[in-house]
């Protein structure tokens, strides 16, 4: 499962890096608590999982009951930036790597 998460995060960063410029993409960043408050207020999204990135940042996945989702990264200084958002989020049953279900 850890390898799947690492591959997913890696794919997100590769996709993000293909954006022509950060200025053109207008990266949405702010203090973590404000970002979380905004996502809760406007999209009813709340954190459902998190992990520590190799650069020291914390990756968080937020989702809502209506299927919207957002993935953010928060740096040690408390600044959070939106990595990706979308619709139709679906939770999968937890699986142990190497075990068939």
For 33-81, the pLDDT digits (tens) are 999 999 999 999 999 999 999 999 999 999 999 999 999 999 999 999 9
In a domain, 19, yes or no: no
So what's the pLDDT on residue 21? 39
In a domain, 52, yes or no: yes
Global pTM reads 0.69
In a domain, 14, yes or no: no
In a domain, 5, yes or no: no
In a domain, 68, yes or no: yes
In a domain, 64, yes or no: yes
In a domain, 18, yes or no: no
Query: Could you give the number of structural domains in the chain?
Result: 1
- The answer to whether 87 and 79 are in contact (CB under 8 A) is no
Name residues whose C-beta falls within 8 Å of residue 13's C-beta, 6 or more positions apart in sequence. Answer: none
Residue 73 structural domain: 30-89
- Sheet strands (E) in 1-101: 29-31, 46-52, 58-63, 69-74, 79-86
So what's the pLDDT on residue 29? 94
23 pLDDT tier (thresholds 50, 70, 90):
very low
So what's the pLDDT on residue 95? 84
How deeply is 9 buried, as exposed, middle or buried, from its count of CB atoms within 10 A (0-12, 13-18, 19+)?
A: middle
> How far is 70 from 62, CA to CA, in rounded Å?
5
So what's the pLDDT on residue 20? 44
């Amino acid at each position: 499962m850890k390898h799947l998460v690492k591959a997913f995060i890696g794919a997100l960063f590769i996709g993000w890096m293909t954006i022509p410029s950060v200025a053109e993409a207008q990266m949405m960043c702010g203090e973590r608590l404000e970002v979380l408050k905004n996502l809760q207020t406007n999209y009813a999204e709340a954190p459902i999982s998190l992990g520590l990135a190799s650069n020291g940042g914390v990756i968080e996945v937020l989702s809502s009951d209506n299927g919207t989702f957002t993935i953010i990264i928060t740096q040690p200084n408390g600044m959070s930036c939106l990595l990706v958002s979308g619709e139709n989020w679906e939770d999968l049953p937890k699986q142990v790597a190497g075990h068939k279900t």
